[in-house]
Structure 1
Amino acid sequence: MGSGRGNAARRPASLASLDLNLLVFLRELLRERNVTRAAERVGVSQPTASAALARLRRHFGDELLVRSRGSFVLSPLAAQLAPQVEPVCASLERLFSTSAEFRPAESDREFTLLMADYVLVTLGEQLSREMFKTAPGIRLHAKVLQKLPADIPEALRLIDGIVSVGKAELHAPGIHSVELFRDRWVCIVDRDNPVSERLELADLERMPWVVPHHPDGGYPPSSPLGPLMARLATHPRVAVRVDSYRATPYFVAGTDRIAIMQHRLARQFRGRADLRVLECPGDPPPIVEKLWWHEERETDEGHRWLRGVVERAARPLDHRNALAARTRHAASA
């Protein structure tokens, strides 16, 4: 029979035996990949930081930071730890910052939102202004969404929200949402592209495409452009795949390619004389961007405040408000 001591050594360390200060230092160490900068971020001396690194190395049985060509890189184990440490620290910060009353003006809580770069361009500045106006000490981690997490409910337990169109994966039990704003699809081509100002579906079928976030195997019916793709006689001929909506026009300029993108984003390039923005044929469905969160956060005063801030930031973009304003103006005329 093996000794009990050997089995005990392989058991996970109990929370009571862990120094949570090491977790904070580990997060900064993995972010900065430098002991000195990590020490500055945490606010400890160099000897204290070196001692913390030594303790972490003993705990994991791994170097964590490895010198390479005059700098440090993460070891394979450290690279695995990096994405795990961030949500753990965020959860702990939320846990210990919880109080009976949330005071935005006095809080330094950090919120994490996941959104596509298109949403960042469209909503980011106004969101930043709204947050700073009422809570200058609040911190925001705006993470760029390239594809939805595999487990939506679990992901939304670890972060504060996702801004996305209503994909099927998001319609899961316990997930709530509120509409923020709407947009429409347009096409973008080079100025010298001979295509007509009035595009037809046949143009989409014959022209090479620049496609952001193109999934393997093409667009599923549940994707925002799924209904339009279903109307094409052939699959799009993809010339460029790029993991950014914002970068799409750069791969259209000077070529015979075409891209379909959001109108609000396309307007950011209206100062470029070498590009044309055209109406999209095929009557594609509107883009409806929503904020999604887990029901466990419903009673969290801080999270309720955040949702209100995001909604206020999106209000100038809300087509319903714009329509109501036009209706009021017409009625008073």
Structure 2
Amino acid sequence: MATDPLRNLDLNLLLSLDALLEERNVTRAAARLGLSQPAVSAALRRLRRHFGDELLVRTGNRYDLTPLATQLRPNTTTALVGVRRVFEAEPGFDPATSTREFTVVASDYSTTVLGDHLATELAREAPGVRLRFQLQTHGDVDQAPESLRHVDGMVLPHGFLQDLPAVELHTDGWVLVVSADNEAVGDAITMDQLAEMPWVVTHHAPTAFTPAIRQLSMIGVEPDVHVVTESFLPVPFLVAGTPRVALLQRQLANRLAEPAGVRILDCPWDVVPLKEAFWWHPAHRADPAHGWLRRMIKHAAVRLDQAD
């Protein structure tokens, strides 16, 4: 009979392996785990014996992952998430007493306009629950559904993902923002002006344009991009005091226009609305805690629509 490889293996090593592969440094891994450096060094030695591989190799002043360690990194994260979910499992989910942590991947826009309502819902119904917002990256979107295995879900507009379960949330519009002191632009802006003005854009990459920017290009206006940011919150501040223009979600623009010193203008084309949804992996379907989270996110979206 084959020997179970887990019989003599301390599963705490999985935590050390995950930290070491992520940090690529024993000292930083120890700090992340709340352990001493000698303890993590000892764990690394055990892991090296187990795998028959160095895992971390010194290159100049840094450590790099070996090919095996590179292969192990995503598998380790998946395994660790699975272990945590096993020990978080409850015969029933009681939000009033639960201390579970939920991780939601979202842009800074979604965290700002939806997150406050969601945090309010959770604080009222589940005071012991922890809500973690993880900043969305291109990789999270491009590598879905695999990336969704490691979190509870992702807030993302339609048009990027398909064939995954989703909860419909709220609809927002797009507006243009210009500096409050931009005298070259009146109360309305024309398509010709947009073609000539310098732009601030977000996520300027082949697969990462906002839907409204893609639409603008499709109708013949190629933005003259002067500034690129990976976040939405800085956009109005990068426009203020300059001749630049930018697209921004209406609900976010309404919150930031006055403190940033910009004016909000309607788009001079029939701009496609932003339809947000909460996307999640089918593996969560039978989890009562996840079902509760989905309902809370939907309630938060309703509160957002009512407040708009």
Displacement of 1:82: 5.4
1:27–1:157 Cα change, 3 Å: closer
Does residue 1:127 correspond to 2:115, yes or no? Answer: no
Displacement of 1:107: 2.9
In the alignment, what sits opposite 2:128? 137
1:295–1:196 Cα change, 3 Å: same
Determine helix, strand or coil for the equivalent of 1:106: coil
CA distance in 2, matches of 1:264, 1:116: 14
Preserved contact between residue 162 and residue 291 of structure 1 (Cα < 8 Å): yes
> 70, 77, 86: which is aligned to 1:95?
86
Displacement of 1:36: 6.3
Higher gyration radius (CA):
1
CA distance in 2, matches of 1:130, 1:33: 38
How many percent of aligned residue pairs carry the same amino acid? Answer: 40
In the alignment, what sits opposite 1:191? 180
Preserved contact between residue 179 and residue 243 of structure 2 (Cα < 8 Å): yes
Moved more, 286-295 or 130-139: 130-139
Q: How does 1:261-300 map to 2 (within 5 A)?
A: 261-272=248-259, 274-300=261-287
Displacement of 1:296: 3.1
Moved more, 309-318 or 31-40: 31-40
Runs (5+) with no aligned partner, structure 1: 1-12, 324-333
Determine helix, strand or coil for the equivalent of 1:156: helix
**Cα deviation code 1:36-92 (max 9, x no counterpart):** 6755664656654442233234445336386987xxx55334677655543432222
Q: How does 1:1-333 map to 2 (within 5 A)?
A: 14-16=5-7, 18-29=9-20, 38-39=29-30, 42=33, 47-59=38-50, 61-62=53-54, 64=56, 74-77=63-66, 85-147=76-138, 148-167=140-159, 169-172=160-163, 175-193=164-182, 194-216=184-206, 219=209, 223-231=211-219, 233-272=220-259, 274-318=261-305, 321=306
Preserved contact between residue 191 and residue 273 of structure 1 (Cα < 8 Å): no
Determine helix, strand or coil for the equivalent of 2:286: coil
Displacement of 1:212: 0.1
CA distance in 2, matches of 1:76, 1:260: 41
Preserved contact between residue 186 and residue 260 of structure 1 (Cα < 8 Å): yes
CA distance in 1, matches of 2:55, 2:301: 46
**Cα deviation code 1:238-266 (max 9, x no counterpart):** 11221111122232222211100111111
Determine helix, strand or coil for the equivalent of 1:152: coil
CA distance in 2, matches of 1:19, 1:276: 59
CA distance in 2, matches of 1:138, 1:112: 11
**Cα deviation code 1:123-143 (max 9, x no counterpart):** 222322322333333333322
Runs (5+) with no aligned partner, structure 2: none
Displacement of 1:35: 5.1
Q: TM-score, normalised by structure 1?
A: 0.77
CA distance in 1, matches of 2:166, 2:121: 20
CA RMSD of aligned residues (A): 3.1
CA distance in 2, matches of 1:219, 1:51: 46
Q: TM-score, normalised by structure 2?
A: 0.82
